[in-house]
Structure 1
Amino acid sequence: MLAYRGAWRRQLQKIKRRWFWGGARGVAGVFLALFLFYSVVTPPITHTIWAEQRRLGEVDRMWVPLEEMAPVLARSVVAAEDAQFCRHWGFDARAIQAAIEAGGSRGGSTISQQVVKNVFLWQGRSWPRKVLETLLTPVVEIVWSKRRILEVYLNVAEMDEGVFGAEAAARKYFGVGPEDLSARQAALIAAVLPNPKERSARKPSGFVQRRARQIQDGAATIRADGRADCFED
């Protein structure tokens, strides 16, 4: 009887492992299919956009390709959010170390990580989400070009409460299309990105104005030293 029970437990464990790895392969296959699909097709919605739409009743968003945005906007956002964007494979070790040393008061996520979180996952600081983000980010870096990653980010990032993407933000803040943004306007939008519900590019606080000046200088720097080459034409 004991031998029978032991054999049954071993068989049950094999079945569980088989189901687990089968499920894991299935989930990985779904994500890979989405990565390939969204490499050429506009993501229809994200969890964050859906959640804000439910909360606010409606959101402002319109997808535009990167070539229809002022190049200085892309450079400003990279300078503000991920200055080493063209030089890493999804993670910036120096930014992560700086975030750890700051005790979590500053973020260490790259633009690639933020795209994974915004498009494929959900907001929050839970460990399951962070583990998935860590696993999926290198795959996005392999499947998508840097230019595509930045294009998606500039279209799904929240830039004011209920305002998603460069098109909606440019028209709300400055009354122009994203292709007509000046260097100063682009820097102000980039300065808002970490906290769009509490910062404004239309009525910038003293902090936002100072941050925008730093970003404007940073955008010029990464253009000059080649750190914008991976997404510039």
Structure 2
Amino acid sequence: MVQILFHEEFSLDRVMKKVFKWTLYVITFLVVFSILQVVILKFVPVYYTPLMVSNNLNQLFTKGSAECEHKWVPLDKISKNLPRAVVASEDNLFIDHSGFDFKQIEKARDEADKGKRLRGASTISQQTAKNVFLWQGRSFIRKGLEAYYTVLIELIWGKERIMEVYLNSIEMGENIYGAEAVAQQHFKTSASKLTASQCALIAATLPNPKKFNSAKPSPYIQKRKAKILNLMGKIGPVDF
């Protein structure tokens, strides 16, 4: 009886050690893989993202076909008005923060506790991390990975590259991703020639680009555009 118990305890101990060892291997692999992802995409254009995949799959299941308007262009081929517009609209402290705007996070939490409508407090860095590396939806696991990737891109990419990827990958209209695609589809021009007014319109639709259309702005979007233009004048050029 004593021998059996000793053998069972010894076997369980070996199993636990193996589980721990393989868990450590898996975690190490995932960390190394994620760092390699970020390092590679510091230099390679991001042509297709999980956000595009998710939307295309949804279209295939609901409509039987999928569309995706997207063309990568370097940051120096995008109007300088667009970074100013998205910073004014989405993330006033983009240049200064380390990836997270803790004041906005706290403010959003307080508003939620008071029963007010839930609103996002994600920075441009967080949105970029989510769109490029992760799936859509809300869960503690995804938010945790979003925070992890946000730290990585802040450390490895820097602000200029984050902005370049953001402006090329974010959804800016129905089946439209990035500055060049929205410039061509909505304004019949190139990203480099977008005016301040057009950039403000694009930024005004970003909270819900499927609902709002920068080519056919509603009175609500026109009001948002005016506010964004005003903020753009206050913050001045966005320098990296």
TM-score band by shorter chain is: over 0.9
Question: What is residue 90 of structure 1 aligned with on the other side?
Answer: 99
Alignment partner of 1:229 is 2:239: yes
- The answer for the alignment partner of 1:181 in structure 2 is 194
Query: Aligned letter for 2:110?
Result: E
8 Å CA contact retained: 1:59, 1:162: yes
Q: 1:80 aligns with which of 57, 78, 89?
A: 89
Contact 1:116 1:137 in 2 (8 A): yes
Other-structure match for 1:129: 142
Query: In structure 1, what is the Cα distance between the partners aligned to 2:80 and 2:239?
Result: 11
Q: Report what 1:6 is aligned to.
A: 9
Post-superposition Cα deviations, 1:8-36, rounded to whole Å, max 9, x if no partner, equal: 21221111111111101101111111100
- Once the two structures are TM-superposed, the CA of residue 52 in structure 1 deviates from its matched residue by 2.4
User: What is aligned with 2:62?
Assistant: none
Q: What is the distance in 2 between the residues matched to 1:5 and 1:16?
A: 16
User: What residue identity is the alignment partner of 1:48?
Assistant: L
Preserved contact between residue 53 and residue 59 of structure 1 (Cα < 8 Å):
yes
Corresponding letter in the other structure for 2:225: A
TM-score normalised by length of structure 2: 0.91
Aligned with 1:33 (options 15, 24, 36): 36
Q: How does 1:101-116 map to 2 (within 5 A)?
A: 101-103=110-112, 105-116=118-129
Return the letter of the residue paired with 1:229: D
CA contact (8 A) 1:72 1:186 kept: yes
- The answer to which of 187-196 and 41-50 deviates more is 41-50
- The answer for the alignment partner of 1:218 in structure 2 is 231
Measured after TM superposition, the shift of residue 51 of structure 1 is 2.5
Cα distance in 1 between the residues matched to 2:217 and 2:176 = 17
Distance 2:87 2:127 in 1: 12
SS at structure 1 position matched to 2:151: helix
Aligned to 2:214: 201
One-letter code of the match for 2:33? V
Q: Tell me if structure 2 keeps the 8 A contact 1:223–1:229.
A: no
Separation of aligned partners in 1, 2:111 and 2:48: 33
Using the alignment, how far apart are the partners of 1:72 and 1:177 within structure 2? 13
Letter in 1 for 2:70: R
Moved more, 61-70 or 199-208: 199-208
| 1:102, distance to aligned residue in structure 2 (A) | 2.6
Q: Distance in 2 between matches of 1:223 and 1:145?
A: 20
- Show CA shifts across 1:138-176 (max 9, x none): 111000020100000000100001000000111111111
In the alignment, structure 1 residue 64 sits paired with structure 2 residue 64:
no
User: How many equivalent residue pairs?
Assistant: 227
SS of match in other structure, 2:216: coil
**Is 1:168–2:177 an aligned residue pair?**
no
AA aligned to 1:115 is: T
**5+ residue gaps in structure 1?**
none
Structure 1 residue identity aligned to 2:222: Q
The separation in 2 between residues aligned to 1:11 and 1:89, in whole angstroms, is 43
Structure 2 residue 144 is the aligned partner of structure 1 residue 141: no
Q: CA deviation at 1:199?
A: 0.6
Return the offset for 1:44: 2.9
